[in-house]
Amino acid sequence: MSGIRPEAGGSGELRAVLPGSPASVEEARRLFADELSSAEAAASVRGGLLPADVHELKVRWLGKKQGVVTALLSRLREVPKDEKAAFGAGVNALKQEVEARLDALEADASARAAALAEAAKAVDVTLPPRVPPVGRLHPLTVVRRRIEHAFRGLGYEVADGPEIETDWYNFESLNFPPDHPARDSVDTFFVEGGGTGRDALLLRTHTSPVQMRTMEGRKPPIRVLCPGRVYRKDDIDPRHSPVFHQMEGLVVDEGITFADLRGTLSAFAKSFFGGKAEVRLAPTFFPFVEPGVDCAVSCVFCEKGCRICSYSGWIEIMGAGMVHPNVLANGGIDPERYTGFAFGMGIDRIAMLLHGIPDLRLLFENDVRFLDRTWS
């Protein structure tokens, strides 16, 4: 319509006024249609009219002081007497049309506003996703699996056994003499009311009982790894714990020699610590092997000595030896026909060495700040 101009301020993009009020009902009807069309076009960029937009239109057209319809009614006194009835009826009809149209628009706008408010509560698919916390393997689990992987390549399988054992499997069958200090209640957790003698129940002090149970249950050749928790009456400090983890191994077959033991330990060291790792064996005593040795690996952290290897260039990692004939016999294997070797290492100690963990207690305290690392 000619004479329409935008009004600044508020939602000015939706409002339009005339310099004066329309002179006739038909002119007002055309003006309303034009303004409504302009308002809807301007609001289309955001999905349609909102309640505030409709309110502005109602004030503009139906306001009691400055509304267009009110202004038309105020002109009734200027209309010739014989035209007053028709003019008044036309203005009332226009008012009803405007009210009906704006009421309908208001209902639509309210529904649209409610939908927008609900959508605002929903997930914004344009935002980057929340990354859920990811669990990690415990360092002991990582080290245990690495050890198992190294020996699986040599033909070993993993065996398991009970943590509550009898004196027979934990001590007597493994050639521990009756007066050995480890068999005293000062060093071993015995189960109260768990019997006496070879049937006395206790928490295993090593995983060697699994080796004995394996020998009882199968015939050679045998190549097994025996990982698991073990228990000893140690004070809790940075280097000791009453609960820790061991990995033991057993090989039994015809013709097994000490050279096989050394070759196996060397192959493990190179696989686990790197191709340049060397092993050094020193004689020692264990009741269940003869001869027995301590196995040390060349320090992987230095070349000339460091704090970790006590400046010796070697780190002791396990004990080993040729299986004692008495142990083979107790397992139901003929020591005249078969020989074997065994070895055992502390998984906790290996983990501390590899990752520079200064305190054994960190492995048991479930401190997320410590565990939330990538261990390899």
| Average pLDDT estimate for 313-332 | 94
Same domain? For 99 and 160 the reply is no
State the pLDDT at residue 302: 79
Q: Is 130 inside a domain boundary?
A: no
State the pLDDT at residue 231: 96
3 pLDDT higher than 50: no
Same domain? For 319 and 260 the reply is yes
State the pLDDT at residue 188: 94
Same domain? For 284 and 258 the reply is yes
Residue 237 or residue 246, greater confidence: 246
Same domain? For 183 and 282 the reply is yes
Residue 22 or residue 216, greater confidence: 216
State the pLDDT at residue 27: 85
Q: Is 376 inside a domain boundary?
A: no
State the pLDDT at residue 21: 62
268-277 long-range contacts (CB < 8 A, ≥24 apart) are 268/147, 268/150, 268/151, 268/154, 269/297, 271/150, 271/153, 272/146, 272/147, 272/150, 273/297, 273/300, 274/300
Same domain? For 210 and 357 the reply is yes
Same domain? For 156 and 111 the reply is no
Quote helix, strand, coil % in the chain, to nearest 5: 45, 20, 35
Same domain? For 212 and 250 the reply is yes
Same domain? For 224 and 345 the reply is yes
Same domain? For 104 and 217 the reply is no
206 pLDDT higher than 50: yes
Q: What is the pLDDT of residues 337-356, one digit of tens each?
A: 999 999 999 999 999 888 88
14 pLDDT higher than 70: no
State the pLDDT at residue 2: 34
Same domain? For 117 and 144 the reply is no
Q: Which two tokens stand for residue 303?
A: 């070349």
Q: Is 129 inside a domain boundary?
A: no
State the pLDDT at residue 264: 96
Same domain? For 247 and 367 the reply is yes
Residue 132 or residue 16, greater confidence: 132
Whether 98 contacts 32, CB under 8 Å: yes
Q: Which amino acid is at 86?
A: A
Same domain? For 102 and 223 the reply is no
What's 234's domain CATH number? 3.30.930.10
12 pLDDT higher than 50: no
Of 102-111, 256-265, 267-276, give the range with the top mean pLDDT. 256-265
pLDDT band (50, 70, 90) for residue 273 = confident
| pLDDT, the chain, mean | 86
State the pLDDT at residue 245: 95
- What residues make up the domain containing 13? 5-121
Residue 330 or residue 6, greater confidence: 330
State the pLDDT at residue 292: 96
| Average pLDDT estimate for 68-90 | 81
Q: Is 326 inside a domain boundary?
A: yes
17 pLDDT higher than 50: no
Omega before 291 within 30 of 0, i.e. cis: yes
Q: What is the pLDDT of residues 121-167, one digit of tens each?
A: 777 778 888 888 878 889 999 999 999 999 999 999 999 999 999 99
Q: Decide which of 87, 121, 155 is a domain's last residue.
A: 121
Residue 70 or residue 10, greater confidence: 70
State the pLDDT at residue 143: 94
| Average pLDDT estimate for 51-64 | 86
Q: Is 264 inside a domain boundary?
A: yes
If one counts the domains in the chain, the total is 2
Q: Is 318 inside a domain boundary?
A: yes
Q: Is 131 inside a domain boundary?
A: no
Q: Is 280 inside a domain boundary?
A: yes
